[in-house]
Amino acid sequence: MAADRATMTSLEREKASVFHSWSAQASINPFMVRSAEGVYVTGEDGERYLDLSSQLVNTNVGHQHPRVVAAIKAQADVLTTIAPQHGYESRYRAAELILDRSFPGAAKVFFTNGGTEANEHAVRMARLHTGRKKVLAQYRSYHGATATSITLTGDPRRWANDDGTAPVVHFFGPFLYRSAFNATTEAEECARALANLERTIEFEGPSTIAAIILETIPGTAGIMVPPPGFVAGVRALCDRYGIVYIADEVMCGFGRAGEWFAYDREGVRPDLVTFAKGVNSGYVPLGGVVLNEAISATFAERVYPGGLTYSGHPLACAAAVATLEAMADEGIVENARRIGEEVLRPGLEALAERHAVIGEVRGLGVFFALELVADRATREPLAPYGQSSPAMNAILAACRAERMLVFANFNRIHVVPPCTITEAEARDGLARLDRALAAAAPFYTGD
């Protein structure tokens, strides 16, 4: 095999040697990348692509931000790795910057290698703190792919990994466009979703429930911004029944929704917050859990039974410090909010006027989704739940032809560029998307 590599293309070598996630290995053809900078990715073919996906919605400060790259290099010169039982400057500085931007009462940060581990540990902390086992999580959610996180997940990726024995109960959250509660207004949807959640708590037994975990704004599942009052309502239910409230901010945090954390929109105080992705734009793997004072105090004299060899890795924490300082100094969070309000929302709504296939536009900041339908009247999705379709494949091919990288899931296109995107770059992306969506016209069956 080694002798054959000299005659193989890069794509052939990739497919022959790498086992790819969430894929049937024989049918994938990964896009081969040479380099990236800002909001652009350059392929091995030399073509430059506009990255409206932020890869997996994580390069919040864009590709190759010079301050973050320089920080990683500088950290590597003095300390590349150290066991997590030791302390060092980049780790405590990263923790301080995260706490400074967190909810009042945030006490400490436990570092992990990514978002799924953050959710694993948040649930473990909640169970040990309360002495209970059960966790409630939403349908239409994604919390990770490791053992506990995948059972928390409320989308089809859970199905093959869940035998139904985990102490996890799913409930429907608010999503007016496809309401599970026959609601006709956002206020009705909010009230009925909260009433349904309280009934679920009552019938499951409040004394058995350790935590409710909630993506503040569900990301991969469709960027369904909750109606005003829902997140605060969940907080109130947790207080009423002595349940830990875990805010999953892995995707929606650190500027993505135009705020440092998406829960800031309602001024709530979670008990635990999980984060990853945007904390250092994924330059080096990093995630973590922010603990409130009460849960932190639980482990003041009691050993916390968990840890990771690379918890708070020096290179990752140096990248986080540089990322958070750059975001503050350069107004990156404010830019994301402004681009969303002034460019993306009106631009995407204008696309919806021209393309009947767009059933709904929803989002905040640089965190938007287009719900694509075959018929606006019936709201028939352009791809079945949990699947793709020839129509979606045609749109994605058109996006590739427009030299544009997009995040797609089922019948949706997510418009989630880096928080650093300029107005001109965002308008260029909208123009490319406008042309690509023309590929959907033959698949639209409505009037």
Beta bridge partners of 41: 36, 49
Give the chain's domains with CATH numbers.
31-64+331-443 (3.90.1150.10), 67-329 (3.40.640.10)
- Decide: 234 and 211 in contact? Cβ < 8 Å: no
The CB density around residue 266, as the number of other CB atoms within 10 Å, is 16
Q: Residues of the chain whose pLDDT is less than 70?
A: 1-3
**What is the C-alpha end-to-end distance of the chain, expressed in Å?**
56
Cα–Cα distance, 226 to 244 (Å, whole number): 20
Cα–Cα distance, 237 to 388 (Å, whole number): 37
For 38-125, list the strands marked E by DSSP.
40-43, 48-51, 106-112
Q: What angle do CA 325, 328, 330 make, to 5 degrees?
A: 100
pLDDT number for residue 3: 63
pTM of the entire predicted model: 0.96
pLDDT number for residue 320: 98
pLDDT number for residue 1: 59
Q: Token pair of 142, please?
A: 């994604």
> Using CB atoms within 10 A of its CB, is residue 386 exposed (0-12), middle (13-18) or buried (19+)?
exposed
pLDDT (tens digit per residue) in 288-317: 999 999 999 999 999 999 999 999 999 999
The three-state secondary structure class of 198 is: helix
pLDDT number for residue 6: 85
Q: Token pair of 230, please?
A: 């829902």
Beta bridge partners of 40: 37, 50
Amino acid at 105: G
Q: Token pair of 143, please?
A: 């919390």
